[in-house]
Structure 1
Amino acid sequence: LCESFSWKDWAGVHSPCVYGDCLDPEHQAIRVSCGLIDVSPLFKTAIRGPGAAAFLARVLPRDLSSLEAGKVVYTSWMDEDGWLLDDGTLACWGNDDYRLTSADPAFNWLDQHCRGFEVELEDQTASIASLALQGPTSCAVLSSAFSRDFSELEFFGAWEGSVEGIPIQVTRTGYTGDLGFEIWCPSSEGPAVWDMLFTAGSDYGLLPVGLDALDVARIEAGFVLQGVDYRSSHSCLLDSQRSTPFEAGLGWTVDKTRSDFVGAAASLAASRNPTKVLVGLEVDIEGLEYLHERVALPMEMPPGAHRDPVVLSSGGRQVGRVTSRAWSPLLKKVLALGTVLPECGRRGSKLEVDAWVNDEQVRVSAEVVPRPFFDPTRKKA
């Protein structure tokens, strides 16, 4: 299936970067028809028991009072000092039955905090497969494959049932910023569910999608990536390398009216005086083109997303760095995420980003703009 033989390591699993010759058809599928992405390497932890709700309220900063069966929320979590550890989704499948997804393993950290709570944890990373069906025709494909109308499943809603004897869970979630669903099933049944979806998707332009196209889509959506746009506190040696949720664009996941969750006092105090902020940026493509024309070179737009840090400047001094950037085939713009000093993070601020033209380091204008860069109404409709 992966004709490119291009793979990357994701949590110890070889995952396809791109299935074909280039990422453009896969990215287009996400935005025009639909694509299927194997996101099974996500770390998954089940939290169950009479004390599960109280336990989650202790370790997570979200207000979970309205989270009920058939609902999903996005959340972050922190260490005792208020530094960001990770972010992911929390799904409620029934009374006292939840699943938390994460970029890094969360089981041990959760286990360290569960003393005194009547709760059981289970690492489901290897036992549960996850397939992300994303794009405008994803609902039609899913409804056809599972013989059920999913058009009424609300944004961040969840459904649980059985399809051809296979236990299936569906959430209206995803990492592309588009209409999409994630399908959860026993790992042993993952190939069968994959085949079901492709059989149904043959009339809807369904394509397998690799991580390269997913990375471009998530930048268009303005979504942060742990380990790239911010670093988990566990992996940092210095506080200057760490971030609070408010500095990493995840402040909206913190309920400021509460003071009883892990890291609450420190994070809420830090929210009043952040040392940096996460911003969206649009790079001046005409300015970049001019710098190429000046030396009689055509401008190149390398495909895919790029994660190497790039200096951001203002008035000749460094004020931050770009953390993720990509040429958007959809918007025809160079988009970027980055962290800057708070005074440089206001909408409309003009900054400069380092670039290279003809082996010469140059600076190109970049403007702070709102995130998400792409936010179709169909995502939530």
Structure 2
Amino acid sequence: MPLPTPFHSRTSAVCDSYEWRNWSGYLSAGIYEMSHDREYYAIRNSAALIDVSPLYKYEVTGPDAARLVDRVITRDVTRQRVGQVYYTPWCDTQGKVIDDGTVSRLDTNHFRVTSADPSARWFQDVGYGLNATVTNVTDDLAALALQGPLSRAILEQVVAGIDFARLAYFHLAHGTVDGFPITITRTGYTGDLGYELWVRPEYAE
């Protein structure tokens, strides 16, 4: 049976369509109203909030963390700065794409990977012999995508400690909302201005 996401009490209260789907073992609203129209135009003209908590999330840590990630993805990790986010595919030994997602460099030897499909086993196999650890943090991190041209203005009203005017595309910053910690990446898949918000599940409500 699919599990509720940390935001389920909020999303279920506004899901008038009762259209739910199983997304990687979590209950996810496929559509909130009876038509997609308002959600689509909200993203294009104002802003919309999407619960993306079901994304798979892994953290790679240790002295060889950068070497492990560099073995897996197709982009050059040696050029990735702390605070920068890569969008990248990763491939098998024959060069066939396995999946794609984002790789955030949280610190010199600390990376966070997000993906649509399970990838932990592949990262662990590739890291054999390296002094690095791959940890599945999917259940330990809730996530929202705030997308649309007004997304920055909304976040500036509620998030402290982040200068959104200086937060570059595909970079991250740490701030607070009502005193609890939050990480925000300037990322998204809508093709518009947007951000993704990463918080511990206990702060989701």
User: TM-score under structure 2 normalisation?
Assistant: 0.90
Partner of 1:116: 129
Q: How far 1:113 moved relative to its partner?
A: 1.6
Q: Which residue of 2 aligns with 1:316?
A: none
Determine the structure 2 residue equivalent to 1:172. Answer: 186
In the aligned structure 1, how far is the partner of 2:56 from the partner of 2:141?
A: 10
Summarize deviations over 1:124-150 as a string: whole Å, max 9, x none: 111101100000000000111113431
Q: What does 1:44-55 align with in structure 2 at a 5 Å threshold?
A: 44-55=57-68
Higher relative contact order (CA 8 A, sep 6+): 2
- Is the aligned partner of 1:85 residue 2:67? no
Q: Letter of the 2:127 partner, please give it.
A: C
Equivalent in the alignment of 1:185: 199
Q: Give the whole-Å Cα distance in 2 for the aligned partners of 1:109 and 1:65.
A: 21
Give per-residue Cα distances to partners, 1:82-140, cap 9 Å, x unaligned.
21100000001112111011111111111112122111111011110110000000000
**Matching residue's letter, 1:51:** D
Give the whole-Å Cα distance in 2 for the aligned partners of 1:138 and 1:27: 14
| Structure 2 counterpart SS, 1:44 | strand
Letter aligned with residue 184 of structure 2: V
1:17-36 correspondence runs (5 A): 17-36=30-49
Aligned counterparts, 1:356-375, within 5 A:
none
The aligned counterpart of 1:142 is: 155
117, 138, 152: which is aligned to 2:166? 152
Structure 1 runs (4+) greater than 2 angstroms displaced: 161-165
CA distance in 1, matches of 2:15, 2:60: 35
Unaligned runs of 5+ in 2: 1-13
- Listed as ranges, the gaps of 5+ residues in structure 1 are 192-381
Contact 2:159 2:175 in 1 (8 A): no
Alpha-carbon distance in structure 1 between the residues aligned to 2:181 and 2:106: 13
Please give the alpha-carbon distance, in whole angstroms, between the structure 1 residues aligned to 2:21 and 2:177.
Answer: 32
Deviation at 1:38, TM superposition (A): 0.2
Q: Which amino acid aligns with 2:187?
A: T
Letter in 2 for 1:37: I
Higher alpha-carbon Rg:
1
**Cα distance in 2 for residues equivalent to 1:161 and 1:97:** 18
Please give the secondary structure, in 2, of the residue aligned with 1:53.
helix
Q: Which amino acid aligns with 1:54?
A: R
What's the secondary structure of 2:57's corresponding residue? strand
Partner in structure 1 of residue 56 of structure 2: 43
Could you tell me how far apart the structure 2 residues matched to 1:32 and 1:190 are? 26
- Name the SS for the 2:158 alignment partner: helix
Match of 2:19 in 1: 6
- Is 1:126 the counterpart of 2:139 in the alignment? yes
Decide whether the 8 Å contact of 2:184 with 2:195 is kept in 1: yes
Q: State the 1:161 CA deviation.
A: 3.1
Q: Which residue of 1 aligns with 2:74?
A: 61
Offset of residue 165 of structure 1: 3.1
- Aligned equivalents of 2:163 and 2:174: distance in 1? 13
CA deviation vs aligned residue, 1:312-358 (integer Å, no higher than 9, x gap) = xxxxxxxxxxxxxxxxxxxxxxxxxxxxxxxxxxxxxxxxxxxxxxx
Residue by residue over 1:233-272, the C-alpha shift from the partner in whole angstroms, topping out at 9 and shown as x without a partner, is xxxxxxxxxxxxxxxxxxxxxxxxxxxxxxxxxxxxxxxx
Following superposition of structure 1 onto structure 2, how do residues 198-347 of structure 1 map, counting pairs within 5 Å?
A: none
In the TM superposition, residue 45 of structure 1 has moved relative to its aligned partner by: 0.4
The DSSP-based 3-state class of the residue aligned with 2:204 is: helix
State, as a whole percentage, how many aligned pairs show the same letter: 42
Deviations 1:281-331 (A, max 9, x none): xxxxxxxxxxxxxxxxxxxxxxxxxxxxxxxxxxxxxxxxxxxxxxxxxxx
> 2:61 and 2:178 mapped to 1: Cα distance?
27
- Aligned to 2:109, which of 87, 96, 108? 96
Return the offset for 1:163.
3.0
